[in-house]
Amino acid sequence: MLKILIFFVFSVCSVFGYFTLSGECPKNVPVKEEFRLAEFYDKWYQTHYYSSDGQKQNNCSVIQLASKSTGIYLNQSRVDLGLFHRYSVGKLEIPPRIEDAAKLNVSFTFPDAPRRLTVRKYPFYVLATNYNYYATVYTCEYSPLIDKHYIYVWILSRHQILNDVSKELAIKPLAALGIDPKKLVKDDLSKCSPKYFEDMQAEPMTFRYPVPIH
Ligand SMILES: *[C@@H]1O[C@H](CO)[C@@H](O)[C@H](O)[C@H]1NC(C)=O
Ligand SMILES: *[C@@H]1O[C@H](CO)[C@@H](O)[C@H](O)[C@H]1NC(C)=O
Ligand SMILES: *[C@@H]1O[C@H](CO)[C@@H](O)[C@H](O)[C@H]1NC(C)=O
């Protein structure tokens, strides 16, 4: 009970801090056409990101996609708060319609959370990519409780450095979301050997969870 209470209080406090953009998530966000997931596999470095609540919690973020017998999984690893090397593994949901190929969802399972919060699903839309150099991925969550939303955008690169041409292409989709590219934060990939290495799965810090009170 106490755990649930703490979780709840924590979540409610979080909601007010994280969800800063008014109204619902943008509709009809243009995504990558004819997206081919098979070419999106393996490793991506996050060279820049946009987080609408302005939080800067990690560096050295790497996303890795891999197939297992039970599905396709996404492993997000990063250095949290400059101290902890952590990772989170989510399962990708593959859209059945070919037109929606880039509209992936990722779901994380937290067996210890209160039951209605054990599985958390987030959009994970690929807005742009050429598979070999850059990719732009977007998520948005809406909190009906306060009628606000939260956006996170990953600018990903196959290499630790994103070349200028690729960066230009990668930031193009930001215009449709009304995001000023100046608000992108550069991920620092130079100090990636922190003090602590956690080999247990942790909560992903790039997503926000609206408290489901109805
Ligand atoms: C996720 O990636 C990190 C960093 O590469 C690695 O240490 C960890 O073992 C991976 N976890 C899984 C379940 O693949
Ligand atoms: C990320 O790296 C930058 C530049 O080194 C540093 O200023 C910032 O504190 C780091 N952020 C975190 C959360 O470790
Ligand atoms: C992703 O989640 C949304 C909202 O729950 C749902 O409408 C959509 O069908 C899901 N897509 C996939 C590929 O599961």
Residue 60 sits at φ, ψ, to 5 deg, of: 60, 35
- Per the structure, how many domains does the chain have? 1
Residue 36 lies in a domain: yes
Q: Is 87 in the pocket of ligand 1 (CB under 6 A)?
A: yes
Alpha carbon nearest to ligand 1 atom 13, residue: 89
Instruction: Give the bridge partners for 78, in sequence order.
Output: 86
Structure confidence at residue 199 as a pLDDT band (50, 70, 90): confident
pLDDT band for position 191 (cuts 50, 70, 90): confident
Report if residue 118 sits inside a domain: yes
57 lines ligand 2 (CB under 6 A): yes
Q: What are 92's two structure tokens?
A: 């990708």
For residue 80, give the ligand 2 atom closest to its CA: 13
pTM: 0.89
Find the ligand nearest to 79 CA.
Answer: 2
Tell me, in angstroms, the distance from the centre of ligand 2 to residue 60's CA: 9
138: β partners:
125, 153
Is 85 inside a domain boundary? yes
Contact predicate 137/157, CB 8 Å: no
Count the Cβ atoms, other than its own, within 10 Å of residue 61.
24
% pLDDT > 90, the chain:
68
Show the tokens assigned to 5. Answer: 């209470």
Ligand 2 pocket member 3 (CB < 6 A): no
> Is 20 a domain residue?
no
Q: Is the pLDDT of residue 15 over 80?
A: no
107-166 pLDDT per residue, tens: 999 888 888 778 889 999 999 999 999 999 999 999 888 899 999 999 999 999 999 999
Ligand nearest to the CA of 49: 2
Q: Please provide the DSSP assignment of 95-164 as one string.
A: PSSGGGTTEEEEEEE-TTS-GGGSEEEEEEEEEEE-SSSEEEEEEEEEETTTTEEEEEEEEEESSSS--H
- Residue 53's domain is classified under what CATH number? 2.40.128.20
Question: 54: CA distance to ligand 2 center in Å?
Answer: 14
Q: Given CA atoms 27, 29, 30, 35 in this order, what sign does their dihedral have? A: negative
> Which of 38-42, 146-150, 171-175 shows the lowest mean pLDDT across its residues?
146-150
Ligand at shortest distance from the CA of 191: 2
Handedness of CA 115, 117, 123, 129 (dihedral sign): negative
Ligand 3 within 6 A of 95 CB?
yes
Which of the residue ranges 25-39, 79-93, 121-135, 193-207 would you say has the lowest mean pLDDT? 193-207
Whole-angstrom Cα distance, residue 78 to residue 76?
7
11 domain-assigned: no
Residue located via tokens 């952590």: 86
The pLDDT, as a whole number, for residue 201 is 84
Atom of ligand 2 nearest to the CA of 81: 13
The residue whose C-alpha atom lies closest to atom 1 belonging to ligand 2 is 59
Question: Can you give the pLDDT at residue 208?
Answer: 82
Give, as one character, the DSSP assignment of residue 48.
E
Under DSSP, the state recorded for 52 is T
Residue 28 alpha carbon to ligand 1 centre in Å: 33
pLDDT at res. 16: 60
- In-domain check, residue 25: no
Q: What is the pLDDT of residue 140?
A: 95
In a domain, 1, yes or no: no
Does 5 map to a domain? no
The model's pLDDT over 64-93, given as tens digits with 9 standing for 90+, comes to 999 999 999 999 999 998 899 999 999 999
Residue 105 belongs to what domain range? Answer: 31-197
Taking only the tens place, the pLDDT of each residue in 94-103 is 999 999 999 9
Check residues 212 and 147 and name the one with the higher pLDDT: 147
Residue 200 CA to ligand 1 centre (angstroms): 9
Burial class of 213 by CB neighbour count within 10 A (0 to 12, 13 to 18, 19+): exposed
